[in-house]
Amino acid sequence: MGSQKESMLSVEGLSCKVYWEFVGVPTASCPSPGCEEVLLRGHGAYRRYVGGQYAWVRRLRCPRCRVSHALLPDDLCAYRDSRLGEVEVALTAGTPSLGAEAAGQTGSDGVRRVRRWLRAAAGSLSEKIKALLPAVAGPWWQRAQAAVGSAAGWLCRLRHWLWSSASCFLGGLSGLYRHGRPGRWSPRGSP
Ligand SMILES: [Zn+2]
């Protein structure tokens, strides 16, 4: 499954659809504070499940601070074999069974999976994301849609928006990672 302690980042436009056809090292600068001008270099790859199959995920490393980053397709969840597009339609569907249907998650396993997504989305992630978005009444995804639009792909756009506006990587449902890094942190520095 790859290292779960590694930093993560995505490059806009490098979706699952194009990620595995892309040759070469995408241009990305180091997200670590003080390294903004430093371009990351290729640093191998690891395997993880995508669509039920093993796929290679590139690693990039900063020649200055030496931190390595997993380069995730920009529409793929961290630590889950799910795409942001599936999760976003499930979130807004209203119920787990409607969500499962919308996300193409079949059977009772699919409903259980979506129920886990909804639980994860309603937990601490929700508060963290809300704190970073302009205030709008309703759940965090309504705030998110107000910020990045509600057309399909809004969760992916939110990932890029949070990255450029708050230096936080949206894992999907697994959390928010300051500068892409795992670890405990709170928005606005409160404990
Ligand atoms: Zn660096």
β-sheet with 7-9: strand ranges across: 7-9, 68-71, 53-61, 41-50
| Element (DSSP H or E) covering residue 143 | helix 140-148
* 70 Cα–ligand 1 center, Å: 14
Least confident of 22-31, 125-134, 147-156: 22-31
* 158 Cα–ligand 1 center, Å: 24
The closest alpha carbon to 33, from 187, 179, 185, belongs to 179
Q: How far apart are the first and last CA of the chain?
A: 30
* 74 Cα–ligand 1 center, Å: 20
Predicted confidence (pLDDT) at residue 110 exceeds the cutoff of 80: yes
Predicted confidence (pLDDT) at residue 190 exceeds the cutoff of 60: no
Q: What is the pLDDT of residue 24?
A: 81
Q: What is the CA angle 24-26-187, rounded to 5?
A: 150
* 190 Cα–ligand 1 center, Å: 25
More confident residue, 190 or 118: 118
Q: What is the CA angle 22-83-23, rounded to 5?
A: 5
Predicted confidence (pLDDT) at residue 99 exceeds the cutoff of 90: yes
The closest alpha carbon to 58, from 23, 17, 13, belongs to 23
* 106 Cα–ligand 1 center, Å: 42
Q: Rounded to the nearest 10 degrees, how much is the dihedral formed by the CA atoms of 17, 10, 103, 81?
A: 90
Predicted confidence (pLDDT) at residue 189 exceeds the cutoff of 60: no
Q: What is the pLDDT of residue 184?
A: 58
Predicted confidence (pLDDT) at residue 36 exceeds the cutoff of 90: no
* 57 Cα–ligand 1 center, Å: 20
Least confident of 68-72, 164-168, 182-186: 182-186
The single residue listed with the structure tokens 């959390």 is 175
* Mean model confidence pLDDT for the chain: 90
pTM over 0.85: yes
Question: Could you tell me what percent of the chain has a pLDDT over 90?
Answer: 79
CA dist., res. 79 & res. 73, Å (int)? 12
| Band of residue 186 on the pLDDT scale cut at 50, 70, 90 | very low
* 33 Cα–ligand 1 center, Å: 8
> Residue 160: phi, psi to the nearest 5?
-70, -35
* 121 Cα–ligand 1 center, Å: 30
> What's the whole-number mean pLDDT along residues 180-187?
68
> What's the whole-number mean pLDDT along residues 34-42?
92
* 63 Cα–ligand 1 center, Å: 7
CA dist., res. 191 & res. 187, Å (int)? 9
* 188 Cα–ligand 1 center, Å: 23
> Residue 46: phi, psi to the nearest 5?
-135, 170
Q: What is the pLDDT of residue 5?
A: 64
More confident residue, 189 or 73: 73
C-alpha to C-alpha distances, 140 to 105, 122, 137, 177, 183, nearest whole angstrom: 23, 9, 9, 17, 22
Q: Which long-range CB contacts under 8 A does 140-144 form with residues at least 24 apart?
A: 141/88, 141/91, 141/92
